[in-house]
A and B are shown apart, each in its own frame.
Chain A
Amino acid sequence: MPDNWSYVFSAYGLAAVVLVGYWRRLAGRAKSLAGRGERKGP
Chain B
Amino acid sequence: MAARALGWLAVLALIAGLGAAFGYAPREAVQGNVQRIMYLHVPAVLTAYLAFALVFLGSVGYLLSRRAGWDRLALAAAEPGVLFTGITIASGSIWGKPTWGTWWTWDARLTSTAVLFLVYVGYLLLRGMVDEPDRRARAAAVVGILGAANIPIVHFSVTWWRALHQPAAILGPGSAPMPLWMKMALAINWLAFTLVFAYFLTRRMEIARLEQEA
User: Contact residues of A with B, CB < 8 Å?
Assistant: 1-5, 7-8, 10-12, 14-15, 18-19, 22-23, 26, 29-30, 33, 36-37, 40
Residues of A within 8 A of B37 (CB): 7-8, 11-12
Q: Hey, which chain A residues are within 8 Å of B18, CB to CB?
A: 12
In the assembled complex, the Cα of A8 lies from the Cα of B90 at a distance in Å of 12
Binding stretch for chain A, among B50-58, B93-101, B156-164, B177-185: B93-101
A contact face: mostly helix, strand, loop, or mixed: helix
The verdict on B36 contacting chain A, using a C-beta distance below 8 Å, is: yes
Q: Mark B102-141, 1 if CB is under 8 A from A, else 0.
A: 0000000000000000000000000000000000000000
Q: Which 5 A-B pairs have the closest CB atoms?
A: A4-B34, A1-B32, A4-B98, A3-B33, A11-B94
Is there an interface contact between B83 and A19, defined as CB atoms closer than 8 Å?
yes
Minimum CB–CB distance from A36 to chain B (whole Å) comes to 6
Q: Is the CB of B207 within 8 A of A8?
A: no
* A contact residues around B206 at 8 Å (CB): 30
A-B contact pairs, 10 of them (CB 8 A): A7-B98, A8-B33, A12-B18, A12-B40, A14-B87, A14-B91, A18-B83, A18-B86, A23-B200, A30-B210
